[in-house]
Structure 1
């Protein structure tokens, strides 16, 4: 599976790194992807989501059930 955002499809960008002498070498800019548990269709799954989608509430994070207190 490629490392792309599950919500918006954002993936790596490519370009040139420029040194002081302006020599160009190829490089890659990766998105800020976080592995999160989301709730979708009543099921919980772990997917890669970019930080901008998390901050914009574009995905619904799953909440773990709290175990009952032993008494």
Structure 2
């Protein structure tokens, strides 16, 4: 499963772990992506969406 939201485009971000001695190592932050059945143009489609889009009501879930 891709780590990209199909609604807002939110994806993986990169940065550094910073220790107390200020040593830096690369790391990534991944969005919370869920596979959801949703209504798109009157049809049921399976989407990869982040939980922020689910919670804010940007998509309508299919039952």
Q: TM-score, normalization: structure 2?
A: 0.87
Which runs of no fewer than 5 residues in structure 2 stay unpaired?
Answer: none
5+ residue gaps, structure 1: 64-71
Question: Higher relative contact order at CA 8 Å, sep ≥6: structure 1 or structure 2?
Answer: 2
* Larger Rg belongs to: 1
Higher strand share: 2
Q: Which aligned runs of 4 or more in structure 1 are off by greater than 6 angstroms?
A: none
CA RMSD in angstroms comes to 1.3
Number of aligned residue pairs: give it. Answer: 63
TM-score (structure 1 length as normaliser): 0.78
